[in-house]
Amino acid sequence: MDLKDFLSVPRLETARRVLCVQPHPDDNEIAAGGTIAWLADLGVDVVYLTVTDGCVGTQDASITPEELAATRRAEAERSARHLGVSDLLWLGYHDGDVPEERELTAAIMGVVRTVKPDIVLAPDPWLPYEGHRDHRLTGLAVAGACILSGFPHARSEPHAPPHGVSAVAFYCTTRANTWINVDKTWHRKIEAIKMHASQVSQSWTTLFMYVDMKAREVAKGRGCARAEAFKVIPTILLHFNVDTEGY
């Protein structure tokens, strides 16, 4: 008997509301933009939570961090709306200055308890060779927040009534167990990425070539041209379980 025989992988489309947590403006679109648009088209309420202001994301020294943060916020609003996102929330930490896991977990848990999602999307903190601490800490904090958000005495910031999350879907993962057909929403994903003009030059093709290559690669044998991959884990398996890696 396999673990999945009695605890099946949750299906993203069964959620009424999904909270998509990203370390920086544009991470959601790059990793999961096709899926986000697909969910919104199905009537799922999709909400964004962005952890940092993205103020470091430039090599142009003439732009101040404050100017860049304002630009990226405007780009993020436009891009998310293009995909059908209903609301955008911000923790407001400076890019590269995400707090340690305990503080960040409490902050994310406060949002989880307020938004009340069924499923939360986030970057996989266990991705091999992930060198950016904002990504690692965001993924770990999401896992910790979702484990504890249903327990009334667990500390959140701000404090709010408990809310249980059924599953976490990690994107940018090497351990995928869920593949979403994004053929019908692919063009919107690419358009949404291009709306982050401060990050992606309209003439720069490298990112789009890589994103397209990976989408085609993970779609092989799945009846579609392009797909996005996730590791979807029931929250109960995010603590004290030796079978989660192979789930």
pLDDT of residue 203: 58
Pairwise CA distance, residues 219 & 210, whole Å: 14
Number of structural domains, the chain? 1
The answer to the question of residue 4 being in a domain is no
Pairwise CA distance, residues 131 & 125, whole Å: 10
The answer to the question of residue 1 being in a domain is no
The answer to the question of residue 6 being in a domain is no
* CATH code of the domain in which 217 resides: 3.40.50.10320
| Structural domain that includes position 87 | 12-238
pLDDT band at 25 (very low <50, low <70, confident <90, very high): very high
The answer to the question of residue 7 being in a domain is no
pLDDT band at 124 (very low <50, low <70, confident <90, very high): very high
Mean of the per-residue pLDDT values of the chain: 97
The answer to the question of residue 35 being in a domain is yes
Token match 């103020």: residue?
55
pLDDT band at 205 (very low <50, low <70, confident <90, very high): confident
pLDDT at 4 over 90: no
Measured from the Cβ of residue 185, the count of other Cβ atoms closer than 10 Å reads: 24
pLDDT of residue 202: 59
pTM: 0.97
pLDDT of residue 168: 99
Percentage with pLDDT > 90 across the chain: 93
Q: Could you report the per-residue pLDDT of 36-93, keeping only the tens digit for each?
A: 999 999 999 999 999 999 999 988 899 999 999 999 999 999 999 999 999 999 999 9
pLDDT of residue 200: 84
Pairwise CA distance, residues 162 & 95, whole Å: 29
pLDDT of residue 234: 98
The β-bridge partners of 228 are 180
Note the residue count of the chain. 247
Q: What is the mean pLDDT of residues 122-150?
A: 98
The answer to the question of residue 246 being in a domain is no
pLDDT of residue 126: 98
pLDDT at 192 over 90: yes
pLDDT of residue 1: 81
The answer to the question of residue 245 being in a domain is no
Q: 76 is written with which tokens?
A: 């993020």
Q: Where are the extended beta strands (E) located within the chain?
A: 17-22, 45-52, 87-93, 119-123, 167-171, 178-181, 227-234
pLDDT at 231 over 80: yes
The answer to the question of residue 72 being in a domain is yes
Q: What is the mean pLDDT of residues 200-223?
A: 90
Q: 191 is written with which tokens?
A: 């358009």
Considering only 1-15, 25-39, 91-105, which range has the smallest mean pLDDT?
1-15
